[in-house]
Amino acid sequence: MNRDIFILSNGRMKRKDNTLYFEDEKGEKRPIPVEQTNSIHFLGQVDFNTSLLHLLSQHQICFHVYNYYGYYDGTFCPRNPKVSGFTVVQQSAHVLDPEKRMYLAKSFVLAGIHHMLRNIRRNGSNDTAYSDTILSMLDRVESARTIPELMGAEGHCRQVYYDAFGQLLKNGMEWHSRSKQPPKDPVNALISFGNSLMYTTIISEIYKTVLDPTVSFLHEPSSRRFSLSLDIAEIFKPLIIDSLVFTLLNNRRIQEKHFESKDGAVLLNSEGRKRFLAAFDEKMKTTIKHRKLNRQVSYRYLIRLEAYKLIKHFIGDEVYKPFKAWW
Amino acid sequence: MENVRGVEVHYYAICKRKLWLFHKGIRFENDGHERVIEGKILHEHAYPKMDKDVELEAFVRIDRQDGDVLREIKLTSKMKKADRLQMLYYLYILKQKGIRKTGLLSYTKEKETVEVHLDDDGEQEVRKALANIQTILEGNIPPFQKLPYCSKCAYKDFCFSGEADQDES
Ligand code: SF4
């Protein structure tokens, strides 16, 4: 099973013959099994040279770089050998036609809201006020005619969803509202860090397909390099990241002491990051039984399947239905 | 018809959908699909003494050339029909260039060899296949139909990736 490698400490990546090592500041070497590596995340300061890039290219491994604060900086993806001009043209046709574009944009938003409601249901009290409010706002999402309208309707639902957090967080964690740049409290720090991981994970999965990562529907195409990843993240952020945040905080695996304040931002400290990454990795490997493939598939693979479904949609094979957890 | 690769003729005989997807550049073969790897290893180690990968045209490749014999190595004899059609296609291309050869399909697992000759019927068969391939590639993607071959197909996860009917909430 392919996995992600997270490099948290400072050090150097070294290639010796065809083996990859990470050597930390104390000179301790740890081999990295390139054959089974999906992508590498650099969270510490890491030195490397181009011979490393060649090796990563050979094995089709992407790496993602995060800055000192754990914010996403950028991605290196080797030249992609998989291209299908046909698919890219069809994918673009779905952006150019407003109706087709809205269908996909709404699908992403609705699946995201489905997972928000699921989080409220699974973590909440018996108070159904929040869910009821969101449900009553779904009409506006469904009937939106333009992308800004849709974004606005989604924003309102999300607002209520975040309002519900106060009830969903059990261990007296401070919560006011979502603050991104910078995150002002521990919960926001966790969500921001998790969302970055979700985003890079989706980039890596899209990269394995013939989809064009810059051609997106809900987000403006190419407003960011990998805007399609932002689209797909709408579905998976509440499903994977938010529920992870609730679990980790509610069972106290992550506590106040795992954060620190820096330049007005609240951030995970290194122990906190370690805990979060371990839990994230665990979650991505968790499997569910896929009803059509009739076998266990991991959360990570669900993202790839989402990409496959989009390809099928673009080439006129099967109408796209976003993934919605049913259990 | 130009531009049809031997492997596409093979896919045509197995699954028209696979042919279509492959031709549009939607490929899954490089994803470490076991049979593909197995095939590659076999390719490199079997029959080391013969010319390797004789290139007929940019779009037609033949595994081995051995005198007047064109040999294609296959793992198992499970897809004999498709293997035969692919071989007939190679022989057909060669014949157009004035080269006459006999085809040999070697099945390693069964240690069996099958001879393929391009007679009038065979030629007819190839022409019909090429015409059909042309029609398929010009049309929409052939709809999914479950085949016994699906379970071993590199496109399986793609074809089966849809959502089951949702019990909506
Ligand atoms: S999985 Fe089945 S239907 Fe799909 S391409 Fe392969 S053989 Fe054809």
Indicate whether residue B33 lines ligand 1 (CB < 6 A): no
Contact A317 B157 (CB under 8 A): no
How large is the average pLDDT for residues A162-186?
Answer: 87
A263-275 pLDDT per residue, tens: 888 999 999 999 9
**Which residues in chain B have Cβ-Cβ distances shorter than 8 Å to A81?**
30
Across the interface, do A305 and B166 touch by the CB < 8 Å criterion?
no
The percent of residues above 90 in pLDDT, for chain B, comes to: 52
What confidence tens digit (pLDDT) does each residue in B53-63 have? 444 444 455 66
Distance CA B26, CA B19 (A): 10
pLDDT confidence of residue B39: 46
Average pLDDT over residues A246-263: 92
Lowest mean pLDDT among A1-10, B55-64, B86-95: B55-64
Tell me phi and psi for residue A4, to 5 degrees.
-95, 145
> Which amino acid is residue B43, in one-letter code?
H
Bigger pLDDT: B40 or A156? A156
Which pLDDT does position A179 carry in this prediction? 86
What's the whole-number mean pLDDT along residues A284-291?
A: 94
Q: How far is the CA of B145 from the centre of ligand 1 (A)?
A: 7
Ligand 1, atom nearest to B147 Cα: 2
Q: With 60 as the cut, is the pLDDT of residue A237 above it?
A: yes
Q: What mean pLDDT comes out for the span A184-204? A: 94
Q: Could you tell me if A262 and A250 are in contact, meaning their C-beta atoms sit under 8 angstroms apart?
A: no
| pLDDT score at A70 | 84
For residue A158, what pLDDT band results from cuts at 50, 70 and 90?
very high
Backbone angles phi, psi at B144, to 5 degrees: -65, 135
Q: Is the CB of B105 under 6 A from ligand 1?
A: no
Calpha distance A82→A74 (Å, rounded): 21
Atom of ligand 1 nearest to the CA of B14: 7
pTM: 0.90
pLDDT of residue B55: 47
Query: Of A261-265, B10-14, B63-67, where does mean pLDDT reach its minimum?
Result: B63-67
Cβ distance A96 to A220 under 8 Å?
A: no
Rounded Cα distance between A168 and A118, Å, is 12
Q: Is A7 helix (H, G, I), strand (E, B) or coil?
A: strand
Do B157 and A315 count as a contact with CB atoms less than 8 A apart? no
Best residue of B22, B26, B31 to probe chain A, by most A CBs closer than 10 Å = B26
Name chain B contacts of A321, Cβ cutoff 8 Å. Answer: 162-163, 166
Preceding peptide of A182 cis, ω within 30°? yes
> How many Cβ atoms sit within 10 Å of the Cβ of residue A307?
22
- pLDDT for the residue A2: 75
pLDDT of A173 reads 83
Does B1 have pLDDT greater than 90? no
> So what's the ipTM on this one?
0.90
- List residues of chain A with CB under 8 Å from any CB of chain B: 81-87, 114, 117-118, 208, 210, 291-294, 304-305, 308-309, 311-312, 315-318, 321-324, 326
| Pick from B140, B167, B169: CB nearest A316 | B140
Confidence at B70, pLDDT banded by 50, 70, 90 = confident
